Structure 1
Amino acid sequence: MSAIIPAPADLVAPTRFTQDTLDWVPWVEPLPIDEVTDHHYEALVQRSRVKNPYFRLLVRDPDILRERTKTDLDIFLNTDAGLPRAERELAATAASRLNGCVYCASVHSAFTTQYSGRREDVQRLLDEGVSTRIDPRWDAIVDATVALTATPAEFGADEIAGLEAAGLDDLEVLDTILSGAFFNWANRLMLSIGEPGVPPAE
């Protein structure tokens, strides 16, 4: 059985949304590396994730983690058609910003910048929040994600029409929905089992 563990006394909480790399500290004990089996590694999908305490915590239920990870990778890495990677990451960033998940926002805002080259625009979204205006296409993606995140059952024709008016085709609309919906769920999971921290200065 996993144990509830306190956050380290020297943990420094981030004071703002950032594109910088953050640590993440679990409140429930991750599976020790020496207890990870071949079945666990299969569930991790990418073996390097065993070093990450978040995934070692989730791998306590390996079958669910495997399906979660395959869904995640398909939404964000299967970019043969549909939304460009930068805009999938933008939707994840918008959901995370609205939900207050500083850790997820840091990861996915950095990816948005990496794939778009628009660091200042991405930082403005983090600093000013999801109501900031950037350009019609990004605004439509953020607005649709916010509507889906805030009250999923009320997301509908108006949000889809807004995406279409900004030039998104059917597959791009679908990718916006999938990216935002996945992180609306993922944020709530991460916020309930741990907290972010600023890495110690080297």
Structure 2
Amino acid sequence: MPHIELGNDEPGIRGLMRYRPETAGVLNELAEVLLRGDNTLSRGERELIASYVSTLNKCRFCSASHSAFAAAQLPGGAEIVAHACSDLDTAPITDKLKALLRLAGAVQQSGTAVTESHITAARETGATDLEIHDTVLIAAAFCMYNRYVDGLATFAPDDPEAYTKTADLIVTHGYTASMAQRGL
């Protein structure tokens, strides 16, 4: 049960966005730019960064949501996402993506946990300054989103199908358009 009365039974951040649509718009716009805007990292790779950070933060709703969003957009689907989130070293993903996920993991611990070695490792695998920037910003933003969702004790559905349905909506229409489709 959420810590405050939301006036709706939507799970996770969806319930919070319905409760406070004034903040929902800017939060969705940020997600749209970070996860779907023009970038040399694919949408699936950026969703994997969000999923990875949310998994490290133990945010069940965001981890399940963004794992489904990443799986819908990455070759190898859910298996690749689960492998990367549980054992990054042996995950069958590019060295560049591994380096960026390690960078995201450092951000998840603390901004000051990011060291020059994280940046050098990412660059050595071909990561651009924009990709490094966006990885840090996605990781930082998802620490905020995760704390928002869990800090107000929202609920996360147990049924994986709930996340798959939302993934279809997000992949097809994006964060801001899907918000309008949900009546926010």
Question: Is the structural similarity TM-score above 0.5?
Answer: yes
Letter aligned with residue 93 of structure 1: S
Counterpart position of 1:122: 81
Answering whether residue 43 of structure 2 is matched by residue 85 of structure 1, we say yes
Superposition TM-score, scaled by structure 1 size: 0.67
Structure 1 residue 92: deviation in Å? Answer: 0.5
Structure 1 residue 98: deviation in Å? Answer: 0.7
Query: How far apart are the structure 2 equivalents of 1:200 and 1:108?
Result: 12
Letter aligned with residue 49 of structure 2: A
Retained in 2: the 8 A contact 1:30–1:53?
A: no
Answering whether residue 79 of structure 2 is matched by residue 103 of structure 1, we say no
**1:167 and 1:145, CA in 2 relative to 1: closer, same or farther beyond 3 A?**
same
CA shift digits 1:143-173 (9 cap, x unpaired): 0010000111232422222211111112222
Counterpart position of 1:172: 131
Retained in 1: the 8 A contact 2:108–2:140?
A: yes
Letter aligned with residue 189 of structure 1: Y
5 Å-filtered alignment, 1:18-167, equals 26-31=2-7, 54-78=13-37, 80-119=38-77, 120-126=79-85, 128-130=86-88, 132-134=90-92, 135-167=94-126
Retained in 1: the 8 A contact 2:12–2:61?
A: no
**1:166 and 1:76, CA in 2 relative to 1: closer, same or farther beyond 3 A?**
same
Retained in 1: the 8 A contact 2:6–2:15?
A: yes
Query: How far apart are the structure 1 equivalents of 2:70 and 2:89?
Result: 18
Retained in 1: the 8 A contact 2:47–2:67?
A: yes
Superposition TM-score, scaled by structure 2 size: 0.73
**1:76 and 1:67, CA in 2 relative to 1: closer, same or farther beyond 3 A?**
same
Counterpart position of 1:188: 147
Query: How far apart are the structure 2 equivalents of 1:145 and 1:61?
Result: 28
Query: How far apart are the structure 1 equivalents of 2:100 and 2:16?
Result: 32
User: Of 159, 163, 168, which residue of structure 2 is paired with 1:199?
Assistant: 159
RMSD (Å) for aligned C-alpha atoms: 2.7
Indicate the structure with greater helix content.
2
Query: How far apart are the structure 2 equivalents of 1:133 and 1:60?
Result: 38
Name the % identity.
Answer: 25
